[in-house]
């Protein structure tokens, strides 16, 4: 997946899907080039949602959550208004995110 900083003269850089999602969430990057659709690493292109379409429930799959770092999970929780101040580990954060979606 290729992204580019939103500043004049920035060159595109290649990142794996998770790195690109993290960069895009900062608001300082944009997708560029072919293959810039929003599909997960394990999702075949034929089943990919159209670019800009959020996941059906607005939350990445359990497998995707498991692959995220604790910092990425904390950021996701903050964006969704989920209190994880009592979470002791990644599993607690994932549980809080998933229970908020239910």
pLDDT in tens, 46-90: 444 444 444 545 678 878 888 889 998 998 888 888 899 999 999
pLDDT interval class at 34 (50, 70, 90): low
pLDDT interval class at 11 (50, 70, 90): confident
Please give the C-alpha separations between residue 17 and each of 4, 5, 12, 32, 90, in angstroms, as whole numbers: 14, 16, 15, 13, 20
Higher pLDDT, 75 or 42: 75
Please give the C-alpha separations between residue 98 and each of 10, 23, 58, in angstroms, as whole numbers: 37, 23, 10
Mean pLDDT of 24-37: 71
Average pLDDT over the chain reads 76
pTM: 0.45
């Amino acid at each position: 997946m290729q992204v580019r900083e939103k500043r004049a003269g920035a060159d595109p850089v290649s990142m794996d899907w998770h790195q690109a999602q993290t960069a895009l969430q900062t608001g300082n990057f944009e997708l560029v080039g072919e293959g810039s659709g929003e599909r997960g690493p394990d999702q075949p292109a034929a089943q990919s949602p159209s670019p800009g379409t959020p996941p059906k429930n607005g939350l990445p799959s359990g497998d995707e959550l498991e692959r995220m770092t604790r910092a990425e999970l904390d950021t996701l929780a903050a964006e969704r208004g989920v209190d994880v101040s009592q979470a002791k580990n990644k599993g607690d954060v994932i549980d809080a995110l998933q229970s908020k979606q239910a």
